[in-house]
Structure 1
Amino acid sequence: MAYDYDLLVIGAGSGGVRAARIAAGYGKKVAICESDKVGGTCVIRGCVPKKLFVYASQYSKMFKAAKTFGWDIQSQFNWSTLLENKNEEINRLNGIYLKLLSNSGVELINGFGSFVDAHTVDIAGQSYTAKHILIATGGTPTVPDMPGKEHVITSNEALDLPALPESITINGGGYIAVEFACIFNALGVKVNLVYRGKQILRGFDKEVAAFAQQSFIDAGINVLTETEITAVEKMSTGFICHTSHDSKHQTIASDLVFFATGRAANTAQLNLSQVGIDTQNNDQITVDKTQATSLPHVFAVGDVCNRDNLTPVAIREGHYLVDRLYKNGNQFPEYDFIPTTVFSQPEIGSCGLTEAQARKSHPNISTHTSTFRAMKYAMSEVKEKTFMKIIVNEDTDQVLGMHVVGADGGEMIQGFAVALKQGLTKTQLNSTIGIHPTSAEEFVTL
């Protein structure tokens, strides 16, 4: 059968764009469809604009510390200026992605793809066929069913607020909730961070999460754990969150309510049942080691699979997949020692196992920790501290995990992640000379 394309990609985010570009570079006829700006969640409404907001919010701490170093800075923050410049940068990046696709020879089709049959996709009323199809539609924020859910915003809307609120209630305890809580708090907004569990940042090392949580409290964030928002009521001005804590009803008033309670795979419009593509929890697409779905010629990468929802993972999955399809490649993504960062204040960098994970699989574990005040803040009124932790398999001396809560935590962990991936031992770590004075040198002296 003659197909319109060798490869048709549904979704022009980081994973889909990489796969399309590489395939076109291998001489294949490739199309990619997208109903929004090219760039996906990370570039348009996720990592990039959020990190720009993080940078903006960090200046308040920098200005506070600057006084000690002789700088008398009179500053005033303007939300509209930040929003305007953020949008300009996103448009610039969108243009770069469009140019990358065009220069690679990839055809961009505007619209959301939906399966007609195993090899046919409908896009804006037009049918297209392809030998191979790649689903890379990512994820979308979800809000649980409850009275007043229509009144809450998600991370999508938080990046484009027309004005900065005086107060905000954020529901959630993961990456997105914590990052936005710190952003708004640093910009002078009164923040309530509500989480139904005992401790925020579930899945992170418990000591790391506890240290971070206390740091957020010390910075002025009102952290309410073991509390669940059961309803949101719109008032003449602002909103009231009705909560349950120890079976007691309480209320929280704020100008805005922001839910960061999870994301679901963006599959609702794909018509997967029409062709028998299997899904699992939150509508994520089930894939095997090769990224293949239950239809062997249809693949999926990135957040829509809900394996490790990180942009670099999606890019690697898409690139390796195309290499295997068209260049006899034999590489598969490896999901161990993936470094990650929570761009909170202080920042959290993590790579490898938590202490709890390590103890489940290794009988003899040692931990090494340090808490200190970074030199940058030593003379200032900024009281923020840094926490570091190393987890070691005593039987082999291998370092199983490294974690940091402190300024530039992500930058530190990215470098150490290379060594961890190669089997770094505690002896090798300690034989490395540190750079003095830096916070990172603490890792090689623990």
Structure 2
Amino acid sequence: MTFDYDLFVIGGGSGGVRAARVAAATGAKVALAEEFRMGGTCVIRGCVPKKLMVFASGYSEMFDDARAYGWDLDEGDFNWPRFRDKLHAELSRLEGIYRKLLDGSGVEIFDARATLKDPHTVTLSTGKDVTAKHILVATGGRPVLPEISGAELGITSNDIFLLDEMPKNILIVGGGYIASEFACILNGLGVKVTQFYRGAQILRGFDDEARGLVAEGMRAKGVDLHLGTNIVEMRAATEDDLKGHDHGVPMEEGRPAQLPQTGTGKGIWVKATNGQEAVYDQVMFATGRAPNTDDMGLQAAGVEVGRRGEAVVDDYSQTAVPSIYAIGDVTNRVQLTPVAIREGMAFVETVFKGNPTPVDHELIPSAIFTQPEMGTVGLSEEAAREQEPVEIYCTSFKPMNHAFADRDDRVLMKLVVSVETRKVLGCHIVADHAGEMIQLAGIAVKMGATKEDFDRTVAVHPTMAEELVTMKEPVRTA
């Protein structure tokens, strides 16, 4: 059978674009369809704009630090419209780069929604059908609202970059890295932030000691974090809702403050499980994401879809249909952009280079851009001690730059070490630039470095990271 293309990629995010480009470099005839904007979640509504907001939010503390270091300066106000417009311009520039990369690779682009008609046919929203020997689904995921009354009044992380103006106060619901990062970002930008999380501690699944220090630091910086707390009820606020409630909206001279203006036209009244009632300018939900598989024709084409809507794949990213593969967040494996890219590369190795390559999801370094920042690779102390006897090397201290500026921020450096093999099973850092540090530490952990390998490494002084190679005695065994 003759096909229109050797490969048709559905989704123009980082994973899909990389797979399309690398496949085209092998001489394959490749096309890609994207219904929204090229770049996907990461570039348009995820890690890139979020990290730029992290940078912006950090300046509020830098002003105080600069004065402590002898600089005379006046602290200004954050101009959200100016930042937002420049942010959108930067995202458009990056989107243009993605398009140029695809064009330069000879990939044909369809600005249209694509769905599966059968194992080798894709139907575009233009009405056109195209055929391909192989189809790669890389449609990513999306944030979802919880099933509670009034949830439609809230926003998600997709919406935060599009606000006309910064809210004066906001309730963020969730305890994962997205919720916690945005709580810190908005707090740094001068927004009064309240965060609800129904669990006992934020950042579930990460090392307990590390996430505890992050939560402590967030509170110290002004985030009003409530654990074991959720929303009971929420609705558009009325004038009466403001009377007697000064948590979300302050009282003015004994009279209710003016109702905050939001996308709903009013503030949002919220009642929490702890009995607290308040009115917020905005409520942001970061309580979960779902794979983008709705109405795509996956099941009709024979692709198995899992309980959470994910495309079910094997170690080679192949679905139950031999001609259809899936990578990235749509598979609900590891929801990280670099992982999607590596999955795309492994797919091309397997299908177009004749080198069957399973995806390696072991020992993936990651960073949580909270304030304080956290970097992690490998097993948490809790997970490691369930697996085997371990030694814990850990230190917490006030770093030089913070001590000089009279800040109370503390740093955590932690290694989880196997008693039997001496391998470093996990490394956890809570500190400024923890993400940068964990990228390098991740190389050593991935290579199977032992504690003695760390010990043999000469320290770089004076740095925070030198503590990773100067901890000589375990603080405990488990």
- Same fold at TM > 0.5: yes
- 1:18-417 matched pairs, under 5 angstroms: 18-76=18-76, 77-124=78-125, 125-236=127-238, 237=259, 238-245=267-274, 249-362=275-388, 364-417=389-442
Alpha-carbon deviation of 1:381?
3.4
Which stretch of structure 1 is more off in the superposition, 432-441 or 319-328? 319-328
Contact 1:64 1:382 in 2 (8 A): no
Structure 1 position 369, deviation (Å): 1.2
Q: Deviations over 1:357-394 (max 9, x none)?
A: 111211x2111111111211111132211112110001
- The one-character-per-residue Cα deviations of 1:295-333 (angstroms, maximum 9, x if unpaired) are 011000000001111001000110111121111223322
Amino acid in structure 1 at the alignment position of 2:461: H
Tell me the residue number matched to 1:2.
2
Answer whether contact 1:110 1:123 (CA < 8 A) is retained: no
Structure 1 unpaired stretches of 5+: none
State the TM-score, normalized to the length of structure 1.
0.98
1:204 counterpart letter in structure 2: F
For residue 256 of structure 2, what is the aligned residue in structure 1? none
Residue identity opposite 2:439 in structure 1: Q
Supply the AA of the counterpart residue of 1:47: C
Which residues of structure 2 form unaligned runs of 5+?
239-258, 260-266, 472-478
TM-score scaled by length of structure 2 = 0.91
Inter-partner Cα distance in structure 2 for 1:152 and 1:346 = 27
Cα offset, 1:281, TM superposition: 2.7
Q: What code does the residue aligned with 1:127 have?
A: D
**Is 2:316–2:356's contact at 8 Å kept on the other side of the alignment?**
no
Measure, in 1, the Cα distance between the counterparts of 2:145 and 2:232.
12
Find the residue that maps to 1:252 and give its secondary structure.
strand
Deviation at 1:86, TM superposition (A): 0.6
Which letter maps to 2:403?
A
**Given that residues 174 and 201 in structure 1 are in contact (C-alpha distance below 8 angstroms), is that contact kept between their aligned partners in structure 2?**
yes
1:239-295 Cα offsets, whole Å, 9 max, x none, are 1122213xxx33232111000001000111312121121111320110001100110
One-letter amino acid matched to 2:298: L
- Mapped to 2, the partners of 1:287 and 1:252 lie a distance apart of 45
**Which amino acid in structure 2 is aligned with residue 229 of structure 1?**
I
Corresponding residue for 1:433?
458
Provide the rounded CA distance (Å) in 1 between the counterparts of 2:407 and 2:332.
38
Tell whether the 8 Å contact from 2:145 to 2:152 is kept in structure 1 after alignment.
no
One-letter amino acid matched to 1:365? V
Secondary structure at the counterpart of residue 404 of structure 2: coil
Alpha-carbon distance in 2 for matches of 1:31, 1:324: 19
Report % sequence identity: 45
In the alignment, the residues of structure 1 paired with residue 360 and residue 119 of structure 2 have an alpha-carbon distance, to the nearest angstrom, of 29
Q: Partners of 2:426 and 2:72 in 1: how far apart?
A: 42
User: Is this contact kept in 2: 1:64–1:381, CA < 8 A?
Assistant: no
One-letter amino acid of the counterpart of residue 286, structure 1: V
Q: How far, CA to CA, are the matches of 1:250 and 1:70 in structure 2?
A: 43
Rounded Cα–Cα distance in structure 1 between residues aligned with 2:100 and 2:63? 39
Tell me the secondary structure at the aligned position of residue 402 of structure 1. strand
Are the counterparts in 2 of residues 146 and 231 from structure 1 also a CA contact under 8 Å?
yes
Q: What's the CA shift for 1:6? A: 0.5
Q: Take 1:367 and 1:169, find their aligned partners in 2: how far apart are those partners?
A: 37
Q: Deviations over 1:208-241 (max 9, x none)?
A: 1111111111111111011111322111431112
Q: Secondary structure at the match of 1:44?
A: helix
Q: Distance in 2 between matches of 1:117 and 1:337?
A: 37
State the Cα deviation string for residues 78-98 of structure 1 (Å, max 9, x = none).
111110111111011000000
User: By how many angstroms is 1:337 displaced?
Assistant: 1.0
TM-superposition CA deviations, 1:404-441 (whole Å, max 9, x none): 11100000000010010000100110111111111000
CA distance in 1, matches of 2:98, 2:73: 38
